[in-house]
């Protein structure tokens, strides 16, 4: 390990990603074996709906208003080919919903599922602001109403060097954005997560290092790319709180931290927004955060990843792909940019 300046040591100690330990990894891996054994049907499509993935039988779907449940009765299944599908093994439902990063509910991987029981997603509203001709505060029903739901199977690559394959339910971010008619000045989109001290114990914690609200952003052309997705569900069910209910962003070619959860604000801007991880540690986390095995990260090697769930006998270490394997769809967006500088 490198000898670091005192301020470096301090900043790395406060960075929650660093709490990840080998021991935890081992325990998690062992737990996953048991989880998979009791939930054997996670990936099997069921007759009648033809979705590629359904939650295991017996899973209690998280609470949702009737109108939202109604939307889930017809979902367009994922196609059979990339980029909205991959035939890589799905990460089991239990891992997708119990191994999470959602610091508003705590910094450990099990905290979001354990601590989000009081979280309320109804009523919910989303404020649309900035460089748009139709700003306003919209109810979740108004936000979602015109959008037909579809299933997409995407890889999710966390900067901590683990990855999953998740069957999301949602719709293209571009379709949402176009409805509010961004002006010609809208060059970036900024997103914010809800701040609810009463139901989010991570926000009350004196160990919290994030300045709330959690914020993320995309360049407008990234946001309009057909891969950029608003998820309202996974495995055919609406989103559990820990995965970012009632709506979250999914940007599969970027590190997971860009995929902001439980969105309450979408702001259109002329200038690049400040984002949570860049504010915290700009040398480690960039605004673009494109998955890039060639850009070194001080904490995790980025040329490999652990595909969850690992088992004792199969560590599932695989090479990380540029743009997380979505280069054909997005590399063009960064033509002429030095990606080692704009990491
Ligand atoms: N509001 C908010 N959004 C967030 C986070 C967070 O802590 N708070 N964590 C991010 C990180 S680091 C990752 S890897 C993904 C994890 O999404 P998942 O738990 O649904 O797999 O959510 C991202 N979105
Ligand atoms: Mo992450």
pLDDT of residue 32: 38
Residue 99's φ and ψ, nearest 5 degrees, are -120, 90
User: How many angstroms separate the alpha carbon of residue 193 from the centre of ligand 1?
Assistant: 11
Which residues does residue 266 pair with via DSSP β-bridges, in sequence order? 128, 191
Determine the distance separating the centroid of ligand 2 and the alpha carbon of 342, expressed in angstroms.
Answer: 18
DSSP assigned state of 91: P
Which of 304, 323, 164, 334 has its CA nearest to residue 253?
A: 323
**Contact between residue 330 and residue 253 where contact means Cβ atoms under 8 Å apart:** yes
Distance 254 CA to ligand 2 centre (A): 10
pLDDT given at position 49: 65
Among protein residues, the one with the nearest Cα to ligand 1's atom 1 is: 261
Of ligand 1's listed atoms, the one at least distance from the Cα of 99 is 19
Q: Which of 257, 263, 299, 302 to mutate to test the pocket of ligand 1 (most atoms within 8 A of CB)?
A: 257
* Domains, the chain, ordered by start: 65-334 (3.90.420.10)
Q: How far apart are CA 125 and CA 123, in angstroms?
A: 7
Concatenated DSSP letters for 125-152? EEEEEESBSS-EEEEHHHHHTTPPEEEE
244: CA distance to ligand 1 center in Å? 8
| Residues flanking ligand 1, CB < 6 Å | 100-104, 156, 158, 193, 214, 243-244, 256-257, 259-262
User: 91: which residues sit within 8 A by CB, 6+ positions away?
Assistant: 164, 165, 166, 307, 308, 309
Which of 92, 101, 113, 305 is the best mutation target for the ligand 1 pocket, counting ligand atoms within 8 Å of the beta carbon and taking the most? 101
Residue-by-residue pLDDT tens, the chain, 343 positions: 233 333 443 443 333 443 333 333 333 443 333 333 334 344 444 444 699 999 999 998 888 999 999 999 999 999 999 999 999 999 999 999 999 999 999 999 999 999 999 999 999 999 999 999 999 999 999 999 999 999 999 999 999 999 999 999 999 999 999 999 999 999 999 999 999 999 999 999 988 889 999 999 999 999 999 999 999 999 999 999 999 999 999 999 999 999 999 999 999 999 999 999 999 999 999 999 999 999 989 999 999 999 999 999 999 999 999 999 999 999 999 999 999 999 9
**Rounded distance, CA 105 to CA 199, Å?**
8
Give 258 Cα–ligand 1 centroid separation in angstroms.
Answer: 8
Rounded to an integer, what distance in angstroms lies between the CA atom of residue 46 and that of residue 239? 19
pLDDT of residue 209: 87
Task: List, edge to edge, every strand of the sheet that includes 125-130.
Answer: 136-139, 125-130, 263-269, 188-193, 215-219
Q: What is each CA distance from 23 to 30, 31, 49, 309, in whole angstroms?
A: 11, 12, 41, 15
In this structure, which residue's CA is closest to atom 4 in ligand 1?
260
- Give the ligand with the smallest distance to the CA of 103: 1
- Ligand 1 pocket check: which of 164, 261, 276, 324 to mutate, most ligand atoms within 8 Å of Cβ? 261
| Closest listed residue to residue 258, CA positions, set 216, 210, 227 | 216
Nearest atom (ligand 1) to Cα of 216 = 3
Phi, psi of 212 (to 5 degrees): -75, 155
Which residues line ion ligand 2, judged by CB < 5 Å?
101, 158, 256-257
Q: Is 132 exposed, middle or buried (0-12, 13-18, 19+ CB in 10 A)?
A: buried
């Amino acid at each position: 390990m490198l000898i670091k300046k005192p301020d470096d040591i301090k900043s790395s100690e406060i960075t929650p990603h660093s709490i990840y330990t080998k021991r935890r990894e081992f325990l998690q891996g062992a737990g996953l074996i048991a989880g998979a054994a009791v939930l054997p049907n996670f990936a099997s499509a069921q007759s009648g709906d033809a979705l590629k993935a359904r939650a295991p039988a017996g899973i209690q779907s998280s609470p949702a208003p009737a109108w939202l449940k109604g939307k889930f009765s017809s979902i367009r299944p994922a196609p059979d080919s990339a980029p909205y599908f991959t035939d890589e093994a799905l990460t089991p439902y239990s891992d997708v919903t119990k191994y999470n990063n959602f610091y508003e509910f705590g910094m450990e991987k099990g905290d979001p599922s354990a601590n989000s029981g009081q979280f309320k997603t109804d009523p919910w509203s989303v404020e649309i602001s900035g460089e748009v001709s139709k700003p306003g505060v919209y109810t979740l029903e108004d936000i979602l109403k015109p959008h037909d739901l579809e299933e997409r199977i995407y890889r999710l690559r966390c900067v901590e060097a683990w990855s999953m394959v998740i069957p999301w339910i949602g719709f293209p971010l571009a379709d949402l954005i176009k409805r509010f008619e961004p002006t010609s000045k809208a060059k970036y989109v900024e997103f914010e997560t809800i701040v609810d001290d009463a139901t989010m114990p991570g926000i009350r914690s004196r160990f919290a290092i994030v300045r709330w609200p959690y914020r993320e952003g995309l360049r407008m052309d990234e946001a309009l790319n057909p891969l950029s997705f608003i998820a309202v569900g996974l495995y055919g069910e609406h989103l559990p709180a820990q995965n970012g209910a009632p709506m979250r962003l999914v940007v599969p070619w970027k590190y997971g931290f860009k995929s902001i959860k439980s969105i309450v604000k979408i702001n259109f801007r002329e200038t690049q927004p400040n984002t949570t991880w860049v504010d915290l540690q700009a040398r480690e986390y960039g605004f673009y955060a494109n998955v890039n095995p060639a850009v070194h990260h001080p904490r995790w090697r980025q040329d490999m990843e652990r595909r969850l769930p690992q088992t004792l006998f199969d560590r599932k270490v695989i090479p990380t792909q540029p743009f997380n394997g979505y280069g054909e769809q997005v590399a063009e967006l960064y033509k002429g940019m030095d990606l080692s500088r704009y990491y």
